């Protein structure tokens, strides 16, 4: 069973810091992640997902 979002890690895009729970505003948070290590790589994951989706869209055209 998945943990509650308030009990997981988040990446704060404004500060560049990993946070536990709802420390900052929702507009500044990316997540949730199971571990602090996963959250610390949030931007890499977002970039990879964006590239994947862009490639999929291009293939559909």
How far is C-alpha 16 from the chain's CA centre? 12
pLDDT for position 1: 65
- Asked if the model's pLDDT at residue 2 lies above 80, the reply is no
- The pTM (predicted TM-score) of the whole model is 0.82
Average pLDDT estimate for 34-53? 96
- Mean pLDDT (the chain, rounded): 94
pLDDT digits (tens, 9 = 90+) for 14-42: 999 999 999 999 999 999 999 999 999 99
Find out whether 61 and 41 touch, Cβ atoms under 8 Å: no
DSSP code at position 7: G
């Amino acid at each position: 069973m998945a943990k509650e979002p308030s009990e997981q890690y988040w990446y704060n895009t404004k500060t560049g810091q990993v946070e536990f729970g709802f420390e900052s505003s929702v507009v500044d948070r990316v997540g949730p992640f199971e571990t602090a290590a996963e959250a610390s790589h949030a931007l890499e994951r977002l970039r990879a997902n964006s590239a994947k989706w862009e490639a999929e869209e291009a293939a559909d055209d």
